[in-house]
A = this chain, B = another copy of it.
Amino acid sequence: MLKISELAGRIGLSTHTIRFYEKHGLIEASERSESGYRLYSAADVNRAAFVKTARNIGFSLEDIAQLLSIRLDRSSHSCQEVTDITRNKLHEVSRKMAELKAMQKVLSRLLDNCDGGLEKATHCSILEVLDNGGLAATGGVN
């Protein structure tokens, strides 16, 4: 049985974060010492590592809570439930990527059209674009 800081070192989370995850039902210590210290079994460690891995991949705490409840009783759940969570996450990621791509495009174009020199910003093309409501007004394709 590991104490909280040992678990923390083992899986690479702070003790703070482990208690935080516990409060949200993601990690639990199956025992307590006489003095009240959390004690983690091998199964607890595996569960914590599962959480860490899922978090690294990018699943939200809520996603992970769902995945854990499936993991806890695999035979009561279908494989589809797992792929649904994964697919939703993938869609979310793709949506965010599209947003970022749009931002990237605009920012690049702003930089392309601007000298960026040490001269005064009196005629800075970036400020002008922002003043004129966006790139469309300065000949951007959109």
Tell me the A residues contacting B by CB distance below 8 Å: 46, 49-50, 53-54, 56-58, 67, 70-71, 74-84, 86-87, 89-90, 93-94, 96-97, 99-101, 103-104, 106-108, 110-111, 114-122, 124, 126-127, 129-131, 133-134
Shortest A26–chain B CB gap in Å is 13
Which residues of chain B come closer than 8 Å to A76, judged between CB atoms?
Answer: 120
Contacts of A126 in B (CB 8 A): 79, 82-83, 86
A89 to B115, CA, bound (A): 17
| Residue contact A127 to B82, C-beta cutoff 8 Å | yes
Query: A94 → chain B, closest Cβ, in Å?
Result: 7
A100 touches B90 (CB 8 A): no
Tell which of B58, B77, B96 touches A120, judged by Cβ atoms closer than 8 Å.
Answer: B77
Residues of B with C-beta under 8 A to A81: 121
- A108 to B87 CA separation, bound complex (whole angstroms): 8
